[in-house]
Amino acid sequence: MRYDWSVDEITELFALPFNDLIYRAQQCHRAHFDANEVQLSTLLSIKTGGCPEDCKYCPQSSRYQTDLESELLMKKDEVIAAAQRAKANGASRFCIGAAWREPKGRAFEMVLEMIRAIKDMDMEACATLGMLDADQAARLKDAGLDYYNHNLDSDPEFYREIISTRSYDDRLDTLRHVRAAGMSICCGGIVGMGESRRHRAGLIAQLARMQPHPESVPINMLVKVPGTPLQDVEALDPFEFIRTIAIARITMPASHVRLSAGREAMSEEMQALCFLAGANSIFYGEKLLTTDNQAADQDRILFEKLGIRPQQQHTPSSRRMVNA
Ligand code: SAM
Ligand code: DTB
Ligand code: SF4
């Protein structure tokens, strides 16, 4: 496994003929995974909108006028019911998200209870709650959390054009706390925000230089939400998105690369090319956090056409014993 990828080297991968790039990605993919298996994660926004941060892509920032209604923290019973539905539909991981800069006080305690309840249902649990300190990371681990999602979003240079209220180093600090607490990391970014190819290479280099690599790497295509500053940004060429997936696969060969936000606007053929390029995880269910996702029925039809199987759940009881 390599952890020394340079931005130049990754830029060279971007410049390969498409067929050569996809062939290399398939070879890496097949060396580490069953190429016909895709992991399914279902998202739930447990605290929607009203976020103090200024991420220019995000409908949940209180700074932008979007159609989104802010909501209070969900009740534990509602979260359990949603997790049960996700499990019944075949998802192996349930991921709860909150529009916070960081978790605080009583709300954090309630999230810990939600995580314990999800773990009691024998599902993998993931959360994305903003920045964490070392103590919060340890408490999430103690509650049974398997994965923490915290994205780098872009390379350090382009990042400054997208977010001013939280630094790149703040993000790296949170990721260090997650790792030190013994949780798996889900970390990726967004493309299609008007960044250059060099910036995309810089994002992949940041992720691929993490040692160990993030276990999950979500590659999001920007969902352009009216009212956000990025609402009118020029669309990214679909092949450039597929190349980004392929390069994530080549540079982080044993990680799950997730074809994440933006699937609703992608053709079946484009999604199939993403799977061919090495994507082996998706968000599954009608909604992402606040925007629409491709319907589960359509996913089932697409999987059938492509002969793809959902990845079976890990044996959670053995995992719990490891965590104990
Ligand atoms: N508030 C927490 C934080 O940002 O750390 C957690 C939730 S936040 C919504 C999780 C991630 O969703 C962001 O880091 C970003 O990568 C992704 N995201 C948000 N809005 C998006 C959009 N319009 N298109 C694609 N991805 C988006
Ligand atoms: C990730 O990388 N993408 C997900 C999840 N991690 C939390 C979120 C996508 C959000 C898309 C916009 C929305 O639905 O609000
Ligand atoms: Fe807040 Fe997260 Fe949205 Fe940024 S991405 S505005 S931190 S909810």
100 close to ligand 1 (CB < 6 Angstrom): yes
Question: Is residue 278 a contact partner of residue 37, using CB atoms and an 8 Å limit?
Answer: no
Ligand index nearest the alpha carbon of residue 52: 3
* Single pTM value for the model: 0.95
Residues known to be catalytic: 51, 55, 58, 95, 126, 186, 258
pLDDT in tens, 25-75: 999 999 999 999 999 999 999 999 999 999 999 999 999 999 998 899 999
Q: Is the dihedral of CA 115, 118, 124, 127 positive or negative?
A: negative
Mutate to test the pocket of ligand 2, among 217, 219, 288, 292 (most ligand atoms within 8 A of CB): 288
151 close to ligand 2 (CB < 6 Angstrom): yes
Please list every protein residue whose CB sits less than 6 Å from any atom of ligand 3: 51, 53, 55, 58, 60-61, 99, 130
Residues 56, 162: Cα–Cα separation, whole Å: 5
pLDDT in tens, 120-171: 999 999 999 999 999 999 999 999 999 999 999 999 999 999 999 999 999 9
Q: What's the pLDDT score for residue 107?
A: 96
pLDDT in tens, 158-203: 999 999 999 999 999 999 999 999 999 999 999 999 999 999 999 9
Calculate how far, in angstroms, residue 172's C-alpha sits from the geometric centre of ligand 1: 16
Calculate how far, in angstroms, residue 153's C-alpha sits from the geometric centre of ligand 3: 11
Nearest CA to ligand 3 atom 6: 61
Q: What's the pLDDT score for residue 317?
A: 42
Residues 62, 69: Cα–Cα separation, whole Å: 10
| Mean pLDDT value of segment 208-213 | 97
185 close to ligand 2 (CB < 6 Angstrom): no
Whether pLDDT at 236 is above 50:
yes
Q: What's the pLDDT score for residue 314?
A: 59
pLDDT in tens, 82-128: 999 999 998 999 999 999 999 999 999 999 999 999 999 999 999 99
Mutate to test the pocket of ligand 3, among 43, 45, 47, 51 (most ligand atoms within 8 A of CB): 51
CB atoms within 10 A of CB 322: 7
Q: What's the pLDDT score for residue 312?
A: 81
Whether pLDDT at 304 is above 80:
yes
Whether pLDDT at 319 is above 60:
no
